[in-house]
C-alpha cells in the first residue's frame, strides 16, 4: 500500500505537495504475473488542494517485461503513463458514486497508480512493429532465420487460420 501524508495541505487553497518517489511493485500491490516490473517504478507529480478536493497528478515510468504476441520472445520496454484523480473528503463525497475519498491526513495512492500502470499495457504486445513471428508450420522464429518450409507445403487452411489469428 502507498499512503502519503497530506497534513497541512488542507489548510489552504492551491497548497501543493510534490511527489518524487521510487516505488517497489509490492507497494502498489502489483505481482509479477499481472505486470512484470523490472526494478522500481518512478512516480513524479503532485497533490494539490483544489478547494475541498485534492487533485493527484502524476507521471509514472517503469521498465516492464512483455511477451511478443507473434514470436513469443520476452522483451523489456519503458512504460509510462499519466494519472489524474480527484479525492473527496469522505464526509462530503457524492453518495452512490465510485469516487476516491480521503479521511484524516492520509491519501491512499495505491489504486489509481496501480490501475494506470495496468491500463498502459497493450492487449497485444509486439517486440517490434514488423515482427515476422513464428513459422506456422515448423515454429522457426522468422526474425532470426528463414525456414525450409516452402509455402506450398503449408496447408492452405492452416495458413488462412494463421493469418486470421495474427490480426
Ligand atoms: Zn516478436
Ligand atoms: Zn517453417
* Residues lying with their CB under 5 A of ligand 2, a single-atom ion: 135, 137-138, 140, 147, 149
- Integer Cα distance of 8 and 16 in angstroms: 9
164 vs 95, more confident:
95
Residue 80 within a domain: yes
Contact 41, 23 (CB under 8 A): yes
Q: What is the mean pLDDT of residues 16-41?
A: 96
Q: Same domain, yes or no, for 28 and 59?
A: yes
Is the four-CA dihedral 60, 61, 63, 67 of positive or negative sign? positive
Q: Is the pLDDT score of 157 beyond 90? A: no
- Integer Cα distance of 7 and 78 in angstroms: 33
Q: Same domain, yes or no, for 22 and 63?
A: yes
Tell me how far CA of residue 130 lies from CA of 68, 125, 143, in angstroms: 11, 12, 9
At 10 the pLDDT is 79
Which ligand places an atom closest to the C-alpha of 139?
2
Q: How many residues does the chain have?
A: 167
The pLDDT tens digits of the residues spanning 58-89 come to: 999 999 999 999 999 999 999 999 999 999 98
Residue 126 within a domain: no
What is the Å distance from ligand 1's center to 76 Cα? 12
Q: Same domain, yes or no, for 145 and 77?
A: no
Residue 84 within a domain: yes
Residue 58 within a domain: yes
Residue 124 within a domain: no
Structural domain for 136, as ranges: 132-167
What is the Å distance from ligand 1's center to 69 Cα? 7
At 103 the pLDDT is 84
* Residues lying with their CB under 5 A of ligand 1, a single-atom ion: 68, 70-71, 127, 131
Q: Domain total for the chain?
A: 2
What is the Å distance from ligand 1's center to 61 Cα? 23
- Integer Cα distance of 51 and 12 in angstroms: 8
At 91 the pLDDT is 84
What is the Å distance from ligand 1's center to 135 Cα? 12
- Integer Cα distance of 14 and 97 in angstroms: 25
Amino acid at each position: 500500500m502507498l499512503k502519503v501524508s497530506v497534513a497541512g495541505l488542507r489548510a489552504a487553497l492551491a497548497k501543493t505537495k510534490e511527489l518524487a518517489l521510487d516505488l517497489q511493485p509490492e507497494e502498489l500491490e502489483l505481482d509479477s504475473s499481472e505486470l512484470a516490473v523490472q526494478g522500481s517504478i518512478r512516480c513524479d507529480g503532485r497533490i494539490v488542494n483544489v478547494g475541498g478536493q485534492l487533485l493527484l497528478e502524476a507521471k509514472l515510468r517503469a521498465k516492464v517485461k512483455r511477451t511478443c504476441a507473434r514470436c513469443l520472445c520476452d522483451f523489456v520496454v519503458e512504460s509510462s503513463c499519466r494519472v489524474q484523480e480527484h479525492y473527496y473528503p469522505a464526509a462530503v463525497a457524492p453518495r452512490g458514486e465510485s469516487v476516491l475519498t480521503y479521511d484524516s491526513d492520509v491519501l491512499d495512492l495505491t489504486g489509481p497508480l496501480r490501475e494506470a500502470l495496468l491500463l498502459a499495457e497493450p492487449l497485444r504486445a509486439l517486440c517490434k512493429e514488423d515482427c515476422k513471428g513464428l513459422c506456422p508450420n515448423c515454429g522457426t522464429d522468422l526474425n532470426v532465420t528463414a525456414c525450409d518450409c516452402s509455402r506450398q507445403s503449408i496447408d492452405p487452411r492452416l495458413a488462412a487460420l494463421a493469418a486470421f489469428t495474427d490480426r
